[in-house]
Amino acid sequence: MVNTLTTMRTLSMVNLGLTVADIPALILEFLTLNSKPIMQVLLMPGLAFILGFAIIAVWFERKFLARAMLRVGPYYCGGRSGVLQVFADFIKLFLKEMIFPDSVDWFFFALMPVMLSTIPSLALVLIPFDANWVLWDIGGLSLPMFLAIMGIAPLMAIFAGWSSNNKYSFIGAWRVAYMYISGEIPIIICSAAVAIMAGSFNLVKIVEAQSNGWFFIPQFLGFIIFFLGVLIQAERTPFDIPVAEVELVFGWRTEFSGILFGFTMMAEYVMFQAWTLLFITLYLGGYGGPILFGNIVGSHIFWLLAKFVVLIVFIILLRTVFPRPKIEQMIKFGWNYLTPLALLNLFIVLGLKLWGIY
């Protein structure tokens, strides 16, 4: 707030008779005063983190799964490791023609992939990388806000599939809706249990409450349910039912081409990233960990990223070993097992809290 006021004052000085020659100095002043939020937007929970994750994760997934499939994977672009393949693919997608079939609702068709990759990345600003390294610190509202932002995403996927006016996309879009109602509710109940145990909806306070012991020990049930919920919400294997390739070509994304397809791919990884970070924050102690080299902020960011990398590798590994259930089996699983067990977890937490054990 102080920064904003300072900025406003600085800008109003322009009207008070300052010359053009003063502008560089003013910009410099603005940058120095707001260096932390600018760094946050550009680097850590912001642009570099999101894009860097998408690039590295796509490369790693391709290379790693290729090894599992006894192949070599990307090989020619950027040396034998194929690191530059993702950039090459991105350039290719960017330069390719965007095909708009005659029957699409072009407004939603063009808008939804862009929204889908940007809106879930808004949720990332709520994740604490340190008690003082939260881009958008809204205190006790941060957990509900996160869930609210992430709750919009499936709706946009439904719109994207529906506006494509393709039969595969249509079925895929409704599969997204089914997945959403069977995966979101257990996640919200589990988050409520965590909030009760920590005594706050504030993500920073939830992390600080785990300084004595991570929440996955007292809430092991919730830990498992939330993990499955993350897989369901992020459409990761084995729950990649809406884009099931052998059934629905590419599900709700079938008609997208060029950079619009690139945006849907981007959206997948952003959702994956946001849900995984929330999972770490709620159950695996968030940024908590021993302080290294006396640098508190740096070591906190390091620990969060370390946990993040381990979890990502584990989730990508799941892709090689599991087939995919049917959508009706998925719904049955969500409503018959995940939701009742999440409620049981909530009652266990209430009991622990009531008898003062935790």
Partner 1 sequence: MSEPKIKPEIMRMSWGPQHPMSGQTRVLLDVDGEKVHKIIADLGFTHRGIEKILENRTLLGGIIPVDRMAMVDSANISIGYVTAADKAYGLEVPERANWIRSLVCEMSRINSHLYAFGLQAEATGYFPAVFLWTTVDREILLDLFEELTGARWSFNFFLPGGVHKDLPEGFKENVIKGVQYLRRRFKDYWAAIVENYMFEIRCNNVAILEPKDALRLGATGPSLRGSGIDIDMRKDEPYAAYGDLDWEVITEDACDVMARTKVRFHEIGQSLNMMEQIAKEIPEGPIKVRFSPFMRAPEGEYYTRVETGRGELGIHMFTDGTTNPCRVKINPPSLRNMYVFERLAELNEMTVADIPVVINSIDPWYLDSDR
Determine the Cα–Cα distance for residues 144 and 233; give it in Å rounded to an integer. Answer: 16
For partner 1, which is the closer residue by CB, 319 or 353? 319
Pick the closest to residue 45 from 139, 116, 130, 156 (CA basis): 130
For partner 1, which is the closer residue by CB, 250 or 303? 250
- Would you call the peptide bond into 120 cis, given omega within 30 degrees of 0 as the criterion? no
Determine the Cα–Cα distance for residues 321 and 68; give it in Å rounded to an integer. Answer: 10
Judged by CB under 8 A, the residue of 44, 173, 176, 327 near partner 1 is 327
Judged by CB under 8 A, the residue of 1, 21, 246, 357 near partner 1 is 246
What are the two backbone dihedrals, phi and then psi, of residue 357, each rounded to the nearest 5 degrees? -70, -35
- Of 11-19, 279-287, 296-304, 327-335, the segment contacting partner 1 by CB under 8 A is 327-335
For partner 1, which is the closer residue by CB, 16 or 246? 246
Determine the Cα–Cα distance for residues 325 and 192; give it in Å rounded to an integer. Answer: 28
Judged by CB under 8 A, the residue of 189, 207, 244, 277 near partner 1 is 244
Mapped onto helix, strand or coil, the DSSP state of residue 205 is: helix
Q: With beta carbons less than 8 A apart as the criterion, state whether 315 and 231 touch.
A: yes
Q: What sign does the CA torsion over 320, 322, 326, 329 have?
A: negative
**Mask: binding to partner 1, 145-174, rule CB under 8 A, as x and -?**
----------------------xx-xx--x
Determine the Cα–Cα distance for residues 322 and 237; give it in Å rounded to an integer. Answer: 7
- Of 37-45, 215-223, 325-333, 335-343, the segment contacting partner 1 by CB under 8 A is 325-333
For partner 1, which is the closer residue by CB, 170 or 287? 170
**Mask: binding to partner 1, 103-142, rule CB under 8 A, as x and -?**
----------------------------------------
**Mask: binding to partner 1, 65-84, rule CB under 8 A, as x and -?**
x--xxxx-------------
- Tell me how far, at minimum, the Cβ of 247 lies from partner 1, in Å: 5
Judged by CB under 8 A, the residue of 140, 257, 325, 335 near partner 1 is 325
Determine the Cα–Cα distance for residues 142 and 145; give it in Å rounded to an integer. Answer: 5
* 326 belongs to the binding site for partner 1 (CB under 8 A): yes
Mapped onto helix, strand or coil, the DSSP state of residue 17 is: coil
Interacting positions 184-243 with partner 1 (CB under 8 A): 237-238, 240-241
Determine the Cα–Cα distance for residues 179 and 222; give it in Å rounded to an integer. Answer: 19
Judged by CB under 8 A, the residue of 324, 335, 353, 358 near partner 1 is 324
For partner 1, which is the closer residue by CB, 96 or 319? 319
- Tell me how far, at minimum, the Cβ of 316 lies from partner 1, in Å: 10
Judged by CB under 8 A, the residue of 48, 80, 245, 291 near partner 1 is 245
In residues, how long is the chain? 358
What is the rounded end-to-end Cα distance, in angstroms, of the chain?
37
- Tell me how far, at minimum, the Cβ of 178 lies from partner 1, in Å: 9
- Would you call the peptide bond into 101 cis, given omega within 30 degrees of 0 as the criterion? no
For partner 1, which is the closer residue by CB, 214 or 250? 250
Q: With beta carbons less than 8 A apart as the criterion, state whether 48 and 42 touch.
A: yes
Residue 213 carries which DSSP code?
S
For partner 1, which is the closer residue by CB, 214 or 261? 261
Q: With beta carbons less than 8 A apart as the criterion, state whether 73 and 67 touch.
A: yes
- Tell me how far, at minimum, the Cβ of 77 lies from partner 1, in Å: 22
Mapped onto helix, strand or coil, the DSSP state of residue 195 is: helix
> Which residues contact partner 1 (rule: CB under 8 A)?
65, 68-71, 167-168, 170-171, 174, 237-238, 240-241, 244-249, 319-320, 322-329
